[in-house]
Structure 1
C-alpha cells in the first residue's frame, strides 16, 4: 500500500508538472503567434490570440491546433484611393495547420465579425460627408453640395449592402430635392458611394453587413484562411 501511495503521489506530481508546462507552452505560443500575424496589403494595430484545447503539446506534436480565437484591431487598407479602416475583427479558426516550420498557420475553416466604425467610414467617404447610425438597418449620411454658388446641406437615410462579396455600397433611400433641378444628382454624388473592403486575411469572405449603433458589423467566413507567415 505504501508503494502504491508513493506511485500515486508521483503520478499527481508529474501530472501537475505536465499541466504547468503545457499551459506555459500555450502562453508562449499565443504571444509568438500574435507577433507573427501578417495580412497582405494591410497594416495591423494589434492582435490577440487565444489557443483552445488541452493538452496543447500533443496537438503541437501533430502539427496543428483544433481551435484558435483571434482578435485583430486597426486593420487599415486602401480603398478607391482612400484609407478604409476595420476597427476590429474577431475570428474563430478551426483545424489550424502549422506550416513553414511553425512560422505560418492556415485554418481549414473560419468565421467571425468585422466592425467598421462610423468615424472610419466617414473618413473613407467623399470629402465633406459625415456618417452616423440612422436607426434600424440604416445609416444617416450628411453632405453639402454647391448649388449656384450657395452651399446646400442634406441628410439622408441610406441602405448599406454588399456587392460581389467584397464591396460595401451606401445608397440613399430618398433625397429631398424640394423642386431644385439637379439637386438629387448632386447630393447623391456625395452621399452614395462604393468602397471595397480590403485587408481581410486571405481566404475570408464577406457574407452579411448590418448597421448597428457601434458601426457596420460584417459577418465573415472562409476556408483555407492564412493568418500568419
Structure 2
C-alpha cells in the first residue's frame, strides 16, 4: 500500500509539474506569436494572441494547433488612396499548421470581425462630411454644399452595404430637395460614397458590413491565413 501511495503522490507531482510547464510555455508562445504578428502586419497598435486547447505541448509536438484567437488593433489599410484605420480586428483561426522549426504558422480557416469607427470613416470620406450612427442599422451622414452663394448643410440617413466583396458603399435613403435646383444631386455627391478596402491581413476577405453605435462592424473570413512567417 505504501508503494502504491508513493506512486500516486509521484504521479500527482509529475502531473502538476507537467501542467505548470505546459502553461508556462503556452504563455511564452502566445507572447512571442503576438510580437511576430505585430511585426508582420506593421501595426502601430497592439496584438494579442490566445492559443486554445490543452495540453499545449502535445499540440506543438503534432505541429498543429486547434484554434488560435487573435486581436489586432490599429490596422492601417487604404481605401481609394485614402488611409483607413481598422480600430480592431478579432479573428478565430482554426487548424493552425506549424512550419519547420516553428518558423511559420498558417491557419486553414479563419472567421472574425473588424471595426471601423465613424471618426476613421470620416477620414476616408470627402471633406466636410461627418458620418455617425443613424439608428436601426443605418448611418447618418452630414454634408455641406454651396448653392448660389449659400452654404447648405443636410443630414441624411444612409444604408451601408458591401459590394464586389471588397467595397463599402454608403447611399442616402432619401435627400430632401426642398425645391432647390440640383440640391439633391449636390448633397448626394457629398454623402454617397464607395470605399474599396485593401490591406487586410493576407488571406482575409470581407463578407458583410453593418452599422452599429460605435462604428461599422465588418464580418471577415479567410483560408490559408498566415499567422507568422
Band the TM-score falls in, shorter-chain normalisation = over 0.9
Q: Which ranges of structure 2 fall in alignment gaps of 5 or more residues?
A: none
In structure 1, distance between residues paired with 2:222 and 2:89:
14
Matched with 2:118 is: 118
1:28 and 2:14 are equivalent in the alignment: no
The range that moved more, 154-163 or 43-52, is 43-52
Residue 223 to residue 119, structure 1, CA distance change in 2 (3 Å): same
Residue 40 of structure 1 deviates from its aligned partner by 6.9
Residue 216 of structure 1 deviates from its aligned partner by 0.8
Q: Which ranges of structure 1 fall in alignment gaps of 5 or more residues?
A: none
Q: How many residues align?
A: 229
Q: With structure 1 as the length reference, what TM-score do the two structures score?
A: 0.95
Residue 66 of structure 1 deviates from its aligned partner by 0.6
Residues 80-99 of structure 1, C-alpha deviations (whole Å, 9 max, x = no match): 12111111111111100122
Matched with 1:93 is: 93
Matches within 5 A, 1:145-224: 145-224=145-224
Matched residue SS, 2:154:
strand
Q: Structure 1 runs of 4+ off > 4 angstroms? A: 38-42
Residue 141 of structure 1 deviates from its aligned partner by 0.1
Q: 1:138·1:159 contact (CA, 8 Å) conserved in 2?
A: yes
Matched residue SS, 2:102:
coil
The range that moved more, 100-109 or 140-149, is 100-109
Matched with 1:79 is: 79
Residues 71-128 of structure 1, C-alpha deviations (whole Å, 9 max, x = no match): 1111112211211111111111110012253232111111111111111111111111
Matched with 1:2 is: 2
Q: With structure 2 as the length reference, what TM-score do the two structures score?
A: 0.95
Residues 158-191 of structure 1, C-alpha deviations (whole Å, 9 max, x = no match): 1001011111001111111111112112111111
1:45 and 2:20 are equivalent in the alignment: no
1:58 and 2:58 are equivalent in the alignment: yes
Residue 142 to residue 27, structure 1, CA distance change in 2 (3 Å): same
Residue 29 of structure 1 deviates from its aligned partner by 0.4
Matched residue SS, 2:165:
coil
Residues 131-156 of structure 1, C-alpha deviations (whole Å, 9 max, x = no match): 00001121000001111222111111
CA RMSD across the alignment: 1.5
